[in-house]
């Protein structure tokens, strides 16, 4: 089947190729642009006997989009579980610029006969995105230990392989009684999907076998450059003295004298303690109205609270003696007058109060 610019397979459309014990045939689909499979549409090559299923080859120069439980598969199955059946699954090959599997769509090869061999799944493109429970698988799916059907192989070559980790989108090459298949990924970026020894409800890469030997997983192209993100340092060490300004000298120059001060002024400053909040030093002021009385644009600014000069405190002086004034009151004095006829009172501990007899210095 060939299409020019766009090919859409929709509404549960099925293109099936079935063979029995004879020669198998292939399904080939090519689109010169994009190709879409939607609403449970499928491309399927199957065998129901000892013959091998055919191959399914899908190519598009644009994108391949699979949605709504669409399917591309090549399968080998039998109506009876008779030992000795060895029909093999065929191969599925997808090639496009971008490939999207969404809403439980799947690309798969399945072998469900004893001693059969799973087919190969080959996906090539610039990007591969798995969403919402989608799957790429090559499984040996027989559930009875009648032979040893082996899982197939999955080869994916894309610059980016991505899935959402929580959406249970898988890459699976598992088996039941035979050997698990192999998964070979060649990519520069692998996101959201990781290898696990057994399937989980997250996005997995699995190659396990329930009763046989597990398969292998190989990831090529993920090369980590240890020097990425490093900055090359200069070969010569930096002279720290060349980075220091010479504004502050030690010879008592005017520059040094003018730069050796630390001043904290204004309403701000440092808090009194580390735990205290820093208060705002701003003072709210109303806007001046040019039409208000007393407003003058040329009036010089003056502080609202001019600085006040506090009087110096009077120093305390030790008393040196006492005298009686004209009113008869006794007063302590710092200096004893030496004028003639003055009466000087001694400051001895035996001196009395104002009512005590006077004592004169000799």
Q: 344 and 206 share a domain?
A: no
Domain count of the fold of the chain: 2
Q: Which of 220, 241, 271 is the last residue of a domain?
A: 220
Distance CA 250, CA 326 (A): 67
Q: 14 and 147 share a domain?
A: yes
Instruction: Find the range with the poorest average confidence among 2-6, 218-222, 268-272.
Output: 268-272
Instruction: Find the range with the poorest average confidence among 50-54, 82-86, 145-149.
Output: 82-86
Q: 194 and 341 share a domain?
A: no
Q: 197 and 325 share a domain?
A: no
Distance CA 256, CA 260 (A): 6
Residue 190 lies in a domain: yes
Distance CA 255, CA 232 (A): 40
Distance CA 69, CA 105 (A): 4
Residue 26 lies in a domain: yes
Q: Which of 199, 220, 241 is the last residue of a domain?
A: 220
**pLDDT over threshold 60, residue 261:** yes
Average pLDDT, the chain: 77
Write down the pLDDT at residue 212.
83
- Over residues 211-234, the pLDDT tens digits come to 888 999 999 986 656 666 677 767
What end-to-end distance do the CA atoms of the chain give, in Å? 147
Q: Which of 203, 220, 237 is the last residue of a domain?
A: 220
Distance CA 107, CA 130 (A): 11
Domain around 358: 319-362
Tokens of 298: 């040329």
Residue 76 lies in a domain: yes
Residue 56 lies in a domain: yes
Residue 111 lies in a domain: yes
Q: 19 and 162 share a domain?
A: yes
Residue 169 lies in a domain: yes
Residue 357 lies in a domain: yes
The residue count of the chain comes to 362
Residue 186 lies in a domain: yes
Q: 189 and 334 share a domain?
A: no
């Amino acid at each position: 089947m060939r299409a020019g610019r766009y090919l859409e397979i929709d509404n549960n459309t099925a293109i099936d190729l079935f063979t029995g014990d004879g020669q198998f045939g292939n399904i080939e689909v090519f689109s010169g642009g994009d190709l879409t499979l939607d609403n449970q549409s499928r491309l399927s090559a199957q065998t129901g006997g000892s013959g091998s299923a055919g191959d399914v080859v899908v190519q598009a120069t644009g994108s391949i989009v699979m949605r709504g439980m669409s399917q591309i598969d090549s399968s080998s199955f039998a109506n009876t579980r008779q030992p000795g059946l060895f029909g093999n699954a065929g191969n599925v090959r997808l090639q496009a610029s971008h490939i999207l599997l969404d809403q439980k769509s799947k690309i798969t090869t399945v072998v469900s006969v004893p001693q059969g061999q799973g087919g190969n799944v080959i996906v090539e493109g610039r990007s591969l995105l798995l969403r919402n429970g989608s799957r790429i698988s090559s499984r040996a799916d027989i559930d009875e230990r009648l032979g040893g059907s082996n899982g197939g192989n999955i080869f994916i070559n894309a610059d980016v392989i991505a899935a959402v980790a929580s959406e249970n989108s898988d890459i699976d090459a598992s088996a039941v009684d035979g050997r698990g298949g192999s998964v070979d990924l060649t990519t520069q970026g692998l996101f959201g999907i990781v290898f696990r020894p057994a399937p989980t409800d997250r996005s997995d890469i699995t190659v396990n076998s329930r009763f046989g030997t597990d398969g292998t997983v190989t990831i090529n192209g993920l090369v980590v450059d240890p020097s990425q993100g490093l900055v090359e340092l200069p070969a010569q060490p930096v002279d720290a003295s060349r980075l220091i300004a010479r504004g502050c000298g030690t010879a008592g120059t005017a520059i040094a004298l003018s730069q050796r001060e630390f001043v904290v002024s204004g309403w701000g400053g440092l808090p009194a303690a580390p735990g205290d909040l820093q208060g705002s030093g701003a003072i709210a002021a109303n806007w001046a109205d040019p039409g208000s009385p007393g407003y003058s644009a040329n009036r010089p600014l003056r502080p609202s609270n001019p600085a006040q000069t506090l009087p110096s405190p009077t120093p305390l002086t030790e008393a040196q003696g006492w005298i009686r004034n004209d009113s008869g009151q006794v007063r302590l004095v710092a200096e004893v007058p030496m004028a003639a006829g003055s009466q000087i009172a001694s400051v001895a501990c035996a001196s009395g109060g104002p009512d005590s007899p006077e004592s004169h210095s000799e």
